[in-house]
């Protein structure tokens, strides 16, 4: 019935939907989840690593979190290869802005430019959309700490707490219940870990399955810092919040 309208990105279906874009979002729904929470003094990004095999070579680089500029980072859910292209584009765009204006790019502008790129793939060219959703976290002097979520359609909006990837609906509603304004970074980390532990498919949370990063202002210098939590610190955090035990049998 509507199968005739889903093979090309550049046409609407009779119901007014873009099927390719929706299918892209389906692909993301199968990927590892990522959560972000905006705190008063920073932004917390948490990601679930889907593939943990003993054979995987653990390199230094993160799988879910990427730094885009010194004041901007993002968490990724979806097709990793698509994400790499977009992150490279984002990094170049941020540096070109800094070269022209000699100041760091405002967060919303970077998000907007990336979303404009994503939108292009839904309207012309005949190429499929990117199968990635992003959670952008950053700080700029205009609006302080900010969190944005963007999806394959090229839509974006600012959020206080957001989730993408597998079980994002459940995670989002849980965040809605438990989020309060004016959280500190520590409370935001605890909230993010709690929500993630409830929505993740696996039974227990271990440091290898998670990635945690924070964007905050360095207390002494006031510079924006992006810090990825080390596995040891991760283990301590999980133990502290009592989440490292496997879920009790029903």
Residues near another protein (CB under 8 A): 60-61, 67-70, 88, 91-92, 95-96, 98-99, 102
Q: Beta-carbon neighbour count of residue 215 at 10 Å?
A: 28
CB of 74 to another protein, least distance (A): 12
CB of 60 to another protein, least distance (A): 6
Q: Which is nearer to another protein, 57 or 61 (CB)?
A: 61
Distance CA 117, CA 156 (A): 12
CB of 99 to another protein, least distance (A): 5
What does DSSP assign to residue 3?
Answer: G
Distance CA 76, CA 219 (A): 28
Q: Which is nearer to another protein, 19 or 66 (CB)?
A: 66
Q: Which is nearer to another protein, 88 or 204 (CB)?
A: 88
Distance CA 117, CA 127 (A): 12
CB of 95 to another protein, least distance (A): 5
Distance CA 182, CA 161 (A): 12
Distance CA 89, CA 214 (A): 22
Q: Which is nearer to another protein, 57 or 177 (CB)?
A: 57
Distance CA 94, CA 107 (A): 9
**Side-chain half-sphere CA neighbours of 135 within 13 A:** 30
For the chain, helix, strand, coil in percent to 5 are 35, 25, 40
Q: Which is nearer to another protein, 34 or 105 (CB)?
A: 105
CB of 68 to another protein, least distance (A): 7
End-to-end CA gap in the chain: 43
CB of 227 to another protein, least distance (A): 14
Q: Which is nearer to another protein, 132 or 166 (CB)?
A: 132
CB of 59 to another protein, least distance (A): 9
Distance CA 183, CA 39 (A): 5
Distance CA 101, CA 69 (A): 15
Q: Which is nearer to another protein, 101 or 124 (CB)?
A: 101
């Amino acid at each position: 019935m509507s199968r005739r309208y889903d093979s090309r990105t550049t046409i609407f279906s009779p119901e007014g939907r873009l099927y390719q874009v929706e299918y892209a979002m389906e692909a993301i729904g199968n990927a590892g989840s990522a959560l972000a929470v905006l705190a008063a003094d920073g932004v917390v990004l948490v990601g679930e690593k889907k593939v943990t095999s003993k054979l995987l070579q653990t390199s230094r680089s993160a799988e879910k979190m990427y730094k885009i500029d010194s004041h901007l980072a993002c968490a990724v859910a979806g097709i990793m290869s698509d994400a790499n292209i977009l992150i490279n584009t984002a990094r170049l765009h941020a540096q070109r802005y800094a070269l022209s204006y000699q100041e760091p790019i405002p967060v919303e502008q970077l998000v907007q430019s990336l979303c404009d790129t994503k939108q292009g793939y839904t309207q012309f060219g005949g190429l499929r959309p990117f199968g990635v959703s992003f959670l952008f976290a950053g700080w700029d002097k205009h609006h302080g700490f900010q969190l944005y979520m963007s999806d394959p359609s090229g839509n974006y909006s600012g959020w206080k707490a957001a989730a993408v990837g597998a079980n994002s609906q459940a995670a989002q509603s849980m965040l809605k219940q438990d989020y309060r304004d004016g959280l500190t970074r520590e409370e935001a980390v605890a909230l993010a870990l709690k929500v993630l532990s409830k929505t993740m498919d696996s039974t227990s949370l271990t440091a290898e399955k998670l990635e945690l990063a924070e964007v905050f202002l360095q207390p002494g210098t006031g510079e924006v810092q992006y810090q990825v939590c080390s596995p040891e610190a991760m283990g301590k955090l999980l133990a502290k919040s009592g989440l490292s035990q496997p879920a009790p049998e029903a």
